[in-house]
């Protein structure tokens, strides 16, 4: 095993996904310590003092286990680069565009990937409009979500028009831009990417109709089938679509691509998560385990992405 030096694990943060991030960060820190790495766990509570906190911890590289705004949208990545601090995962540009579901879908479409038809709303104009590269031909039922959020926070399934306003108001609590998209019937699938290669496909089977926040974090009835029970052709197509989505946004090292596999075998790309959940029960670790990669080894592989960046800085 190569020498990593001291690794600072950033966790917590100021977004609505703080609790999930704390769980990810603690799991990563524990796994790295178990592997014999010198680790500094850094709970991010103040943006203004963060760089000083990192420098005072005397770390060689930073492992970002932050989810949501500030941690996953390119902000912290930009701060670290300005200060010459190596970090894990995707860079500033890829992080920013992946967090923006509207912009990322434009890029998916340009690569020939299928995306949900949707309407884009903006709280500043208070007008219903459509983005130039997205269709507005959307019918009930709807999925309503903030444009820049993860963990299904602020997301609703709307089956009747009278419930639409409430769902939009909820989404506006988390973002100034809201997406109203078509509900697509099919299999929930996700593909984790590691070292720019797809891992085994996971089929998510919620115990309810919709895979929302409760189904992700509170329900005991949600099942995860890995590898997914798909035909060979469908399986390959899902993995290929995930890799295209990952690469077209410029993502590096690892990510997780969420999709719906329609009944006709077409994968519909929903989003790319540049810092997916990293607890031992999260989907990226599940896929890695199916590929024969333990959680401890997964954390080391991700850490090496920062180590490579550190070597470039030295040169």
277 is catalytic: yes
Q: Which of 271, 282, 305, 307 is catalytic?
A: 271
How does DSSP classify residue 280? Answer: T
SS3 of the chain: helix, strand, coil, percent, to 5: 35, 25, 40
Helices (H), the chain: 18-34, 50-56, 75-82, 92-99, 101-110, 164-172, 213-217, 232-248, 283-290, 295-314
Whether 182 is catalytic is: no
How far is it, in rounded angstroms, from Cα 58 to Cα 56?
Answer: 5
- Catalytic hit among 151, 156, 203, 241: 151
- To the query of whether residue 217 is one of the catalytic residues in this protein, the response is yes
Q: Is 38 a catalytic residue?
A: no
Q: How far from chain centre, in Å, is Cα 3?
A: 28
The CA distance from 1 to 8, in Å, is 18
100, two tokens: 């923006």
The string of DSSP letters for 113-144 reads: -B---EEEEETTTTEEE--TTS-----SSEEE
Identified catalytic residue from 18, 96, 256, 304: 256
Q: Is 2 known to be catalytic?
A: no
151 catalytic per annotation: yes
Selecting among 148, 156, 273, 282, the annotated active-site residue is 273
- Based on the residue annotation, tell me whether 255 is a catalytic residue of this protein: no
Q: Which of 148, 258, 282, 305 is catalytic?
A: 258
Q: What are the tokens at 141? A: 């039922």
Residue 83 is among the residues annotated as catalytic for this protein: no
- Catalytic residue among 100, 217, 219, 224, which? 217
- Set 277, 304, 305, 307: catalytic member: 277
Active site residues: 17, 151, 217, 256, 258, 271, 273, 277
């Amino acid at each position: 095993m190569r020498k990593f030096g001291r690794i600072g694990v950033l966790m917590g943060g100021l977004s609505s996904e703080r609790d999930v991030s704390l769980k990810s960060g603690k799991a990563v820190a524990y796994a790295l310590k178990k592997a014999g790495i010198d680790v500094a766990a850094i709970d991010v509570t103040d943006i203004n003092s963060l760089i000083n906190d990192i420098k005072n911890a005397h770390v060689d590289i930073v492992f970002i286990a932050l989810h949501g705004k500030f941690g996953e949208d390119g902000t912290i990545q930009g701060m670290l680069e300005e200060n010459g601090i190596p970090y894990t995962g995707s860079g500033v540009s890829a992080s920013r565009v992946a967090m923006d579901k509207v912009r990322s879908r434009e890029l998916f479409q340009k690569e020939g990937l299928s995306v949900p038809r949707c309407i884009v709303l903006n709280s500043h104009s208070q007008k219903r409009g459509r983005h130039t590269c997205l269709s507005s031909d959307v019918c009930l039922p709807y999925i309503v979500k903030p444009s820049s959020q993860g963990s299904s926070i602020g997301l609703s399934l709307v089956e009747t028009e009278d419930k639409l306003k409430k769902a939009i108001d909820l989404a506006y609590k988390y973002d100034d831009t809201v997406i109203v998209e078509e509900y697509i019937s099919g299999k929930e699938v996700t593909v984790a990417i590691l070292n720019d290669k797809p891992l085994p496909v996971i089929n998510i089977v919620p115990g309810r109709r919709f895979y929302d926040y409760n189904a992700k974090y509170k329900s005991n009835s949600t099942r995860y089938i890995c590898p997914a029970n798909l035909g060979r052709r469908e399986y390959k197509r899902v993995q290929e679509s995930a890799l295209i989505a990952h690469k077209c946004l410029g993502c590096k090292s690892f990510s997780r691509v969420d999709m719906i596999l329609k009944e006709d075998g077409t994968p519909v790309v929903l989003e790319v998560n540049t810092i997916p959940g990293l607890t031992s029960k999260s989907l990226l670790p599940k896929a890695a385990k199916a590929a024969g990669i333990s959680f401890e080894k997964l954390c080391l592989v991700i850490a090496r992405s920062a180590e490579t960046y550190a070597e470039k800085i030295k040169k």
